[in-house]
Amino acid sequence: MFKRFQTDTFNWILIIGAVLFVFEIIFSFGGTLIPAILSGLFMYLGWKNFSALWGKIVFWIFLISLVLSILNLLAVRFLIVAAIVLFILNYRKKTKEKDALEPILPGMDEQRAEPVVKVDPLFDHKIFDDQRTEDTAYQWRDINIHGVFGNRMIDLSNTVLPSDTAVISIRHVMGNIEIYVPYEVEVSVHHSSVFGRAHILGEHHWKLMNQSLFYQTENYDKAGPRVKIITSLFSGDLEVRRI
């Protein structure tokens, strides 16, 4: 019951934060949102040229500017205050609760001790960095990641896909995604983008503006192995091609 209460409270906090965010955009002409966007763009420019001295300077200056701009948003300040209040209330509740003894019935230990294996993901979530699969053979694991800046490159020719369906799910803000698929693998691609281009198995879209694309090979529903690709980009290019 307490967990359900926490989830409902969290949802209401997000709704109020979204309302405050929209209110600030409408009545404050964007508030600090526009400086935050500009700081993010200049920070990305500095990160792309981080090897140069001026790139390092631009990156760190506008990183600080971005953090200050985000903290000045009314919605963000509300979320910080709400998080502090919830933490204090939750801490007080835990200190008042007494440990309850739960009876253990015959057979409960065996039921709870179901063996599970923790598997390390192929990719971790990264905000500022490029990611790519290994150039040598690697063990396949489904991919489910999100990021902010950087490029993602996945080469499926160096791994053995499962006999049924492999899944690649990437949600990204700014950067390019490249996926190389062997010829004997069936492919399904569901891509959405606000700005960018898409090149999917010979189909070219040179200008995407808030569009969603869906392609799949002819025998995708009939044969395997197959890979299901789901990508979402705010600004960037997607390339899916055979190798």
Give the whole-angstrom CA distance, residue 147 versus residue 197. 18
Location of structure tokens 């950067």: 175
Using pLDDT thresholds of 50, 70 and 90, give the confidence band for residue 169: very high
pLDDT in tens, 36-75: 888 888 888 888 887 888 888 888 998 888 888 888 888 8
pLDDT of res. 23 = 81
Give the whole-angstrom CA distance, residue 38 versus residue 40. 5
pLDDT of res. 215 = 94
Using pLDDT thresholds of 50, 70 and 90, give the confidence band for residue 177: very high
Q: What is the pTM of this model?
A: 0.61
CB 74 within 8 A of CB 24: yes
Give the whole-angstrom CA distance, residue 182 versus residue 215. 17
CB atoms within 10 A of CB 2: 9
The mean-pLDDT minimum among 41-55, 94-108, 223-237 falls in: 94-108
Query: Which residues does residue 188 pair with via DSSP β-bridges, in sequence order?
Result: 216, 228
CB 226 within 8 A of CB 188: yes
Has residue 1 got a pLDDT over 50? no
pLDDT of res. 7 = 63
Using pLDDT thresholds of 50, 70 and 90, give the confidence band for residue 111: low
Has residue 114 got a pLDDT over 90? no
46 is written with which tokens?
């500095």
Strands 131-132 and 226-242: unpaired
